[in-house]
Amino acid sequence: MPVLVVLIVLSFAFYVFYKIKYVRSSRPAERQWVSAKSSIALGVFVALFGINQLYLFQTAVTYIVAGIFIVLGGLSAFAGFKAYKHYLPYAVKEAEEANSH
């Protein structure tokens, strides 16, 4: 499915973008916040890859591996979202303090 391929490429591109942003950031809370966003992007990438495999191959092994990918991707995206919500106020406070000086 072409839509899944586009979404897979976009999620991987966001993952790479956020990892580069993570390396370039110097503020600790912002680094954790950006790392959480990259975790969400990676989780979406893995889950979409698993869903795409279900459309490409119809074997028992594919169903098992795709199921594992979907579950692991979903858990990674969920954990990233929880971390994103946790670090967001700290990153905002850190950015406000940096701008006030």
List, for residues 32-62, the tens digit of each pLDDT value: 999 999 999 999 999 999 999 998 988 999 9
The greatest distance separating any two alpha carbons of the chain, rounded to the nearest whole angstrom, comes to 60
**96: containing domain:** 2-100
- Specify the pLDDT at position 91: 93
- Residue 69, C-beta contacts closer than 8 angstroms, at least 6 positions apart: 46, 47, 49, 50, 53
Work out how many domains the chain is built from and give that number: 1
